[in-house]
Structure formats: C-alpha cells, structure tokens
Amino acid sequence: MEKLQKTLEEWRAMLDPEQYNVCRLKGTERPFSGKYNATKTDGVYHCICCNEPLFDSRTKFDSGCGWPSFYAPIEGSAVVEVRDVSHGMIRTEVVCAKCDAHLGHVFPDGPPPTGLRYCINSVCLDLVPR
C-alpha cells in the first residue's frame, strides 16, 4: 500500500481540532462520547484522514468499554499494530496502514472468532452505510 504523507500543518488544516488531537497526536476521546459507540448501522468504517476502509460493521460488538469495538479489521493490511509503552502501560496501538493515523488500541479480550477487541475512537472513523 502506498503511504499518504502530509505535514502536521496540512493535517491540522484538514481535520477539526478533536480529529487532529486523536489521529495525529495520539489522543483519545472520552468514553461513551463518540458518535459510533452505540450505532448499529450496517456499513464500512473508513479512516477520517485518508478514507481507507478499516472495519466492517459486521465485526462490531458492544464491549461496554465506551468506544466502538470490533473483533477484526476489514482485511489484514488495513491497520498496523504498534507497541505502545506510553502512560506507564504496555499496550498495542492500532494505526491506519495508509496514513498512520492513530485509531486506538487492540486488546486480547474480545469475542470469537479472533478473541481480539479493537477499541477505536469514533472521531477517527467515517461510517459509509451499505
């Protein structure tokens, strides 16, 4: 996949302040505040920065954590997992494979068939209904 690269100034001009903080500065939205946390709309979730398809609504589940949760990305190459040792924790960060936008984290406490919970910030996503 060809990487989409922009300067921080270019990202800041294109994203709203919350999108910029989360996607480019690795922030997080407050739990239960995101527009996609409880949505049941059938469709595909795309990266807000580059429009790359990331997650299918068929893999979304209610984990109760306060952020949209998925048990798998749309395909293996849609996201990249990166070791994250910030905030005194060891976690696995999830970023968009095309533009490196911070999306959230993945945890090993999800449902079958993967056992994974991709905990993703709503502000990083754009849902395209089917």
Phi, psi at residue 53, to the nearest 5°?
-65, 130
7-11, 68-72, 75-79, 121-125: least confidently modelled range: 75-79
Is 65 marked active-site? no
8 Å CB contact between 114 and 65:
no
Residue 121 has pLDDT above 90, yes or no: yes
Whether the bond between 113 and the residue before it is cis, its omega within 30 degrees of 0, is: yes
Q: Is 65 annotated for ligand binding?
A: no
Q: Is 23 annotated for ligand binding?
A: no
- Looking up tokens 């696995």 gives 92
8 Å CB contact between 54 and 74:
yes
Mean pLDDT over residues 73-78, rounded? Answer: 86
Quick one: fold of 6-127?
2.170.150
Mean pLDDT over residues 16-41, rounded? Answer: 96
Q: Is 47 annotated for ligand binding?
A: yes
Catalytic residue among 23, 49, 65, 119: 119
